[in-house]
Amino acid sequence: MKKTSTRLADGRELIYYDRRDDVVRDAVDKRPLERTVTTSEVRRDPLLGDSVAVASHRQGRTYHPPADECPLCPSEGDRLSEIPDSSYDAVVFENRFPSLAGDSGRCEVVCFTSDHNASFADLTEEQAGLVLEAWTDRTSELSHLPSVEQVFCFENRGAEIGVTLGHPHGQIYAYPFTTPRTALMLRSVAAHKEATGGENLFDAVLQRELAGDRVVLEGEHWVAFVPYAAHWPYEVHLYPKRRVPDLLALDEDARTEFSQVYLELLRRFDRIFDGDGGQGGGSESQTPYISAWHQAPFGALEEFEGVNRDDFALHLELFTIRRTSGKLKFLAGSESGMNVFINDVPPERAAERLREVAS
C-alpha cells in the first residue's frame, strides 16, 4: 500500500491509498473554496450521562446530488469534486460538514472505490483489503490526536438509513470521549471479570455462539453470528477468533481472511429478501445497512475498574433496518423512548436465513 497525503483548497487533509507503489498523486484542488467554518459543540446530558454533538452548520451539507455532480467521484475536466485526481483506489478526507471538529474530535469520509455505481460488496478481495488498511491507518493516526479517545469506522448504506450521497463510502468519527455503547460493554466486562474471578466476557460470548445454532459463516480466523439478543431483524456480529482490542492488532492471516468473509457476508445481506417480494438483483434490491467497527477506546479506563484495553474485543456489527421486503423496523415508543428494543425476527430464524442465501 502507498499512502499520499495532500491538502484540499480549503485546507482539509486528503489521503490517497493506492495498491501500487509507483502511482503519483500530485493533482491540485482547483476549486475556489473558502476555509471551512464549523460550529461543532459537544454537550453532556447531566441526567443520562451521555453526550450530544450540536453541529448546526451541517444543515447546509450536500443532499442527494445527481450522479454527474457527485462530490466523491474523481474530478474530470470542468467537473471538480472533493477528489482532485482523475482516478483513485481508495481515499480518505476530512469531512466538509463534520459533526465533530477541533477540540470536539474529527470526522473523515472514506471512499471505497472510484466506481460510483458499485457497493462494498462489489469490491475485489484486494480492494477490500486496501480499505481495511485505510481504516487501520486512520485509527492509528487519529488515536494520537490529543482530543481523541475513541475511533469509530462505519458505513451507512441506503436512502432508508439516511445516506445523502449515493457513492460507495463510509465515515470515521474520532470522539473526544468513550461512547455510551462502548461504556456499557466495558461495564459488563468489568462486572463479569469480577464475578468469575477473571474470565473475559467477550471470550465467553464467542464460545457460546460457536457452540450454538446462530453461526452464519465461519473461517479459520473469523466467525459471523446472529447474537442471542439481537436488537435488529437481521443483525450479524463478526469477530476475529483471537481477541484483539483494535484493528491495529490484527495479524496478517486475519487481515487476509477478513476480505473473504466480510464480502461474502455483505453479498448474503443483499440476498436476504430475494423470494420475499424483493426485486432480486440490481441496485434496487440492495439491502440498506449499517456496518460498524467496535474498537477499544484509547483514553483512560479508570472508571471501568479492573479492565484494560486488552480486555475489549474488536468486532464488527452489521445490521439492516428492513424487517421484510418493503417494510422497515422503526424505532418507535419503546425503542426511542425507553431504549428497549422489540425484535420482529427471532435471531435463530435470521441466522438460518443468512445461511440459506450462501453463494
Known catalytic residues? Answer: 169
Between CA 252 and CA 243 the distance in angstroms is 14
Which of 111, 123, 101, 93 lies closest to 33, judged by CA?
Answer: 93
Q: Where are the alpha helices (DSSP H) in the chain?
A: 125-143, 180-196, 201-210, 252-269, 338, 347-356
Q: Which three cell numbers stand for residue 341?
A: 428494543
Residue 319 near residue 269 (C-beta atoms within 8 A): no
Rounded to 10 deg, the angle between the 125-143 and 252-269 helix axes is 110
77: region left, alpha or beta (phi > 0 left; psi from -120 to 50 alpha): left
Sign of the four-CA dihedral 86, 18, 167, 297 = negative
Identify the bridge partners of residue 317 per DSSP, sorted by sequence position. Answer: 237, 292
Helix or strand holding residue 156 (H, E): strand 150-157
Q: Which three cell numbers stand for residue 283?
A: 441496485
Within 10 A of 45 (CB to CB), how many other CB atoms are there?
9
- DSSP code string of 130-151: HHHHHHHHHHHHHHTSTT-SEE
